Chains A and B, each alone.
Chain A
């Protein structure tokens, strides 16, 4: 008994440090486990991101190069009537050029197959050349014209030539011609400038994202001009001036709810208010921007309020202490300090707006638009909509262009987020 007691006493004496030592290993294990989970979570998400990027880049990188075919074009004065150059038969010019290159091709269907080797864009290209410089009529010039999308796919290795001829987009004859052109060095992959300078097209080799990028730019400009001042003003009022009562609580709850409303709802609102009530035009970046600003407003307000709250009260007191009015305190001290946070929130909101398609569907911005928009009311589409439209196109060459467009969109998003970080670093002041 006594022994036990003394033992127990001894135990009691040593207890604290013993228990500390006992528990120590467990604590470190728990810490290690936690670290491991955290690391695993990060590795997982990085892995997913990597898979996403690899699949997108893997699918899309080839779209930045396009197959071109060299044609020896004789600008035949017989075809090109000096009187009416803009309406001349340029596709006839392309066809005659092709016939000259393959004189052995006879028969109507065979000729049709031959003509399909180059893109319909070739005719537009020649038209442009002639209109720019009519002097070239009567001369022979070698021109690189875009190949048809099927040829492009073949050159890039997407087509298996094993399939039966009638199941392929390219016949055996066409394959032979392409091989012949290749041996002559008249098929080449070049950087796809069209992709970055053209609007949408139903011919993959002529389709570009510039139209959508311009549309996105206009829409986002409207969004920024509307949502930033309104959002900041609302946040400043709510945070600095509004009395704290049930009404402001209600407003706050509703703003938070608004941030979680599915974006399609804003599209419906835009349709009902901007289009049906105010009669704004469909498909216009102006309306798109307005709808998107409805969506980004709550984000900006919430971020701005958080930024205002993070300004230390000591700065406010300091300003009030020397006799600044509330307005002066806010404008001279609180706003400059909150601005980086507000800008970050704004840019994140804008980045979200940049990636949005659903609300634009309702106001008609999901549309086939070839011409580059020149203003806020011209019909336009935006980058994510362009991606959506291309993803749904049957032509196989649009698959890689879809991925390429996603890459461009991601690049823009990264650029915007980087801008958010840079702005934050630049304007951030310590107190």
Chain B
């Protein structure tokens, strides 16, 4: 038993020592702590790695928590135990901004980094589809306007794309897409489903809750298959099944251009140029938010911001573009770079 007791005591001592070490580590964090969107993650990590390898600073730690989870952590307070930067695939919400203020996070610098397109893609073995957002809505919503006419909703009756629109191919509707927890799904619903639902005036005039109900509910009869968060898996499945379509971020299309192709949405194919110019309709801006109070406290913050906002990083020829980020137009980039160098603080959300 003596041996066991010694072990136990050793373990307790170890935990104690470790936790005192924790306090030390806390009081002097020497790396940047970044949380937030899984969509921004692949871009932010490249910058972080480049920053870590080319400077004397440690590589920032980046957690993929989702945009909402990121804000929750970010807005929890000022101090080394809270993140310095949060990535987001949407703008900060009023409620989140308010929460930040309540917790003393008054000075936030907003940085837009570029755009991400969401694509509907299929295998190169099949023909590319030319589809409108309305068609996508009709094919994927749980309840759709009655095809026989009238201002009422019926359960989605469409089995094939041709049922939806005569110009579309006569194949079964089969779409692999992200689950509701995913930021890609949020953006897809917002940019495609909501926009299409708004095109029906009587749906548009519904009260907010009912409208959301219509626009956000995706059919559950097997035509839409939630494929988990793993977009690579969707790509592999599309390759194996030329009749299926997938919904994912542009970077996956960019990396797998030899196997899959993006569908034309409202007449525009999702290409780098089309998204950058804003022609392709299904794209969203990506952001990160910086806690100004941490600049100068956490080593390397200025360097990281500088690395992220330099042309070799986020410019049209920068390495983020190689990774699939759609850069902002020149003027917008200039504006945000200036904002960052001046550390212009976000005062109110409408003040943009």
B21, A163: Cβ atoms closer than 8 Å: no
Report the stretch among A75-83, A184-192, A244-252, A391-399 that lies at the interface.
A391-399
B21, A377: Cβ atoms closer than 8 Å: yes
With A163-B124, A281-B26 already in contact, 5 other A-B pairs whose C-beta atoms are closer than 8 Å: A163-B258, A229-B4, A368-B44, A368-B61, A369-B59
1/0 per residue, CB under 8 A from A, across B314-333: the answer is 00010100111000000000
Shortest Cβ-Cβ A-B pairs, 4 listed: A370-B59, A163-B258, A368-B62, A167-B257
Q: Considering the complex, which residues of chain A in the window 397-425 have a beta carbon less than 8 Å from any beta carbon of chain B?
A: 398-399
Closest-by-CB residue of A relative to B249 is: A394
The residues of B that contact A398 with a CB separation of less than 8 Å are 232
Task: Give chain B nearest CB distance to A290 CB in angstroms.
Answer: 8
The residues of B that contact A166 with a CB separation of less than 8 Å are 257
Tell me, in angstroms, the Cα distance from A280 to B24 when the chains sit together. Answer: 11
B8, A160: Cβ atoms closer than 8 Å: no
A15 interface residue (CB < 8 Å to B): no
- A391 in complex: contacting residue of B11, B64, B232, CB < 8 Å: B232
Tell me, in angstroms, the Cα distance from A391 to B38 when the chains sit together. Answer: 13
A229, B33: Cβ atoms closer than 8 Å: no
A229, B230: Cβ atoms closer than 8 Å: no
Q: How many A-B residue contacts, CB cutoff 8 Å? A: 142
The residues of B that contact A327 with a CB separation of less than 8 Å are 1
The residues of B that contact A203 with a CB separation of less than 8 Å are 49
Known: A278-B19, A280-B22, A367-B64. A230 touches B45 (CB 8 A): no
The residues of A that contact B257 with a CB separation of less than 8 Å are 163, 166-169
B14 interface residue (CB < 8 Å to A): yes
Secondary structure call for the B interface: helix
Tell me, in angstroms, the Cα distance from A389 to B54 when the chains sit together. Answer: 23
- B26 in complex: contacting residue of A230, A279, A283, A364, CB < 8 Å: A279
A225, B14: Cβ atoms closer than 8 Å: yes
The residues of A that contact B251 with a CB separation of less than 8 Å are 394
B158 interface residue (CB < 8 Å to A): no
B230, A379: Cβ atoms closer than 8 Å: no
Task: Give chain A nearest CB distance to B52 CB in angstroms.
Answer: 5
A379, B31: Cβ atoms closer than 8 Å: yes
Known: A229-B4, A286-B18, A394-B254. A366 touches B49 (CB 8 A): no
Tell me, in angstroms, the Cα distance from A284 to B315 when the chains sit together. Answer: 35
Q: Considering the complex, which residues of chain A in the window 210-248 have a beta carbon less than 8 Å from any beta carbon of chain B?
A: 222, 225-226, 228-230, 232-233
The residues of A that contact B35 with a CB separation of less than 8 Å are 364
Task: Give the interface centre of B8, B22, B29, B233 by most chain A CB atoms within 10 Å.
Answer: B22
Secondary structure call for the A interface: loop
The residues of B that contact A396 with a CB separation of less than 8 Å are 255-256
Tell me, in angstroms, the Cα distance from A167 to B128 when the chains sit together. Answer: 13
Taking Cβ atoms with an 8 Å cutoff, the residues of A that contact B are: 86-87, 112, 116, 120, 124, 159-160, 163, 166-169, 201-203, 222, 225-226, 228-230, 232-233, 278-284, 286, 290, 327, 330-331, 335, 364, 366-371, 375-379, 389, 391-396, 398-399
The residues of A that contact B307 with a CB separation of less than 8 Å are none
A229, B258: Cβ atoms closer than 8 Å: no
B58, A371: Cβ atoms closer than 8 Å: yes
The residues of B that contact A222 with a CB separation of less than 8 Å are 18
B49, A168: Cβ atoms closer than 8 Å: no
Q: Considering the complex, which residues of chain B in the window 1-51 have a beta carbon less than 8 Å from any beta carbon of chain A?
A: 1, 4, 7-8, 10-11, 14-15, 18-19, 21-22, 25-26, 29, 31, 33, 35, 38, 41-42, 44-46, 48-50
The residues of B that contact A163 with a CB separation of less than 8 Å are 124, 257-259
Known: A367-B61, A368-B41. A394 touches B21 (CB 8 A): no
B226 interface residue (CB < 8 Å to A): no
B255, A169: Cβ atoms closer than 8 Å: yes
B11, A225: Cβ atoms closer than 8 Å: yes
- B62 in complex: contacting residue of A160, A233, A367, CB < 8 Å: A367
6 contacts between A and B (CB under 8 A): A86-B56, A229-B7, A367-B61, A369-B59, A370-B49, A394-B324
